[in-house]
Structure 1
Amino acid sequence: MQDKRSMQKQAAVYGLLFGVIILIIGIIALYWIASTTAMPVIIASPVLLSFAIPVALAIFFTLKLRKYVGGYWSMREAASGIFIMFFAAYFVYSLGNYIYSHSVDKGITERVQQNIVKVTTDFAGKQNVPTEELDEKIDEIKASIEAGKNPTIGHVIQGIIFSIIITFIAALIFAAIFKKEPPVFAKSVSE
């Protein structure tokens, strides 16, 4: 079994790869959502791109990390390695997403939000939703968008702390699922 420091370094490397992959998928998703006219894409993309694909990648990298340490690790070893991996991925994704949306393509977030409102409005109109109800929903969506545009320092810190807690809880859950203690062999008694 590799030593603890080696496992942590490998976990960080897998986390960086995981974060870059999720960042690329996220950037592609932004353009996909910004240009779609289909309501199923608007509904399914967060589930697929924010949950299903990241969970599948997390499982893949967790199994690779367990294989790297020899196939066996305790709950504590698994939790620490997985937390390092998840935190590195979160850091790369968050930083990359921030840089991309504030430096590379400053208008992408707004285009995504506008398209979501447009597609939702078109869909609701086809479903004969009453105009008053539709206007209320649009106002709610726009208010939500405006509230997220200028977060305070307190909201940013609160978001970071919340993300670290969620990352730790996810690491504990993955560790509980993927821990694998080495087998204990019974000693044969010979006379």
Structure 2
Amino acid sequence: MENLNQAVRKEGAIRGILFGILMLVVDILKLYYLAHASTSPILTFVVLYPVYYIILFGAALLFISGLRNKIGRYWNLKQAITGIFIMLIFTTLIWNNGIALFSGKINPELAEKAHVSFVASRKAAMQSSHTPAKRIEQEVVSMNQTFAAGSKVTVQSFFRSLFVSVILVFAVSAVLGVLFKRERPAQPQA
């Protein structure tokens, strides 16, 4: 049993690293799209974001299924939650820190262009739906404040974000663990 628990942790970490790298690449591609190719609010909000979330959830389900299959296709609830939690916490750490590093240090101009393009798309979408000008301005100010706050990472904000991430990842892991657990069938006694 101990070997299975170790295998769950090890494979969870490996898959978490791979999933984190995949989502980091997808997020960087999303930034490039928003900064350079985003031309219409419809493409941005109707195509880009649904496709993004389909990739996110689809890849998560594939990685979890692969994790379960790699360790022998059977695991109890505790092992399922542990493996999924380890996978998702590694994913979160690589993905969030990677995108923060990329947006803050490697290519901050791209992040700024993507933000400006996103705000313009959101504003155009709100105007096309006849949203009052005052409401649009409030939304633009709110988006700009959120972007500015996200651009300034402090030690306190890092640990607060990490704490919230751990809680959310555990909650998601518990739900997915219940969905993905597969107990070994009981052997008939002779």
Quote how far apart the aligned CAs of 1:186 are.
3.3
- Per-residue Cα deviation, 1:106-129 (whole angstroms, up to 9, x for no partner): 212211111122223334444554
- Are 2:108 and 1:106 equivalent residues in the alignment? yes
Where do residues 5-20 of structure 1 align in structure 2 (5 Å cutoff)? 5-20=6-21
- Are 2:51 and 1:48 equivalent residues in the alignment? yes
Worse-matched range after superposition: 134-143 or 120-129: 120-129
Q: Which secondary structure state, in structure 1, belongs to the residue aligned with residue 108 of structure 2? A: coil
Partner of 1:167: 169
Query: TM-score of the superposition, structure 2-length normalised?
Result: 0.87
Q: Which runs of 5+ in 2 are unaligned?
A: none
Instruction: Name the count of aligned residue pairs.
Output: 187
**Relative to structure 1, is the Cα distance of residues 128 and 177 closer, same or farther in structure 2, using a 3 angstrom cutoff?**
closer
Partner of 1:93: 95
Query: TM-score of the superposition, structure 1-length normalised?
Result: 0.86
Quote how far apart the aligned CAs of 1:97 are.
1.2
Partner of 2:65: 63
Indicate conservation of the 8 Å contact 1:75/1:176, yes or no: yes
Indicate conservation of the 8 Å contact 1:33/1:41, yes or no: no
Q: Which secondary structure state, in structure 1, belongs to the residue aligned with residue 182 of structure 2? A: coil
Considering only CA atoms, is the larger Rg found in Structure 1 or Structure 2? 1
Identity rate of aligned residues, in percent?
22
- Are 2:160 and 1:158 equivalent residues in the alignment? yes
Q: Which runs of 5+ in 1 are unaligned?
A: none
- Partner Cα distance (1:144, 1:175) in 2: 33
Worse-matched range after superposition: 21-30 or 51-60: 51-60
**Relative to structure 1, is the Cα distance of residues 142 and 94 closer, same or farther in structure 2, using a 3 angstrom cutoff?**
closer
Partner of 1:136: 138
**Relative to structure 1, is the Cα distance of residues 124 and 182 closer, same or farther in structure 2, using a 3 angstrom cutoff?**
closer
- Partner Cα distance (1:130, 1:94) in 2: 35
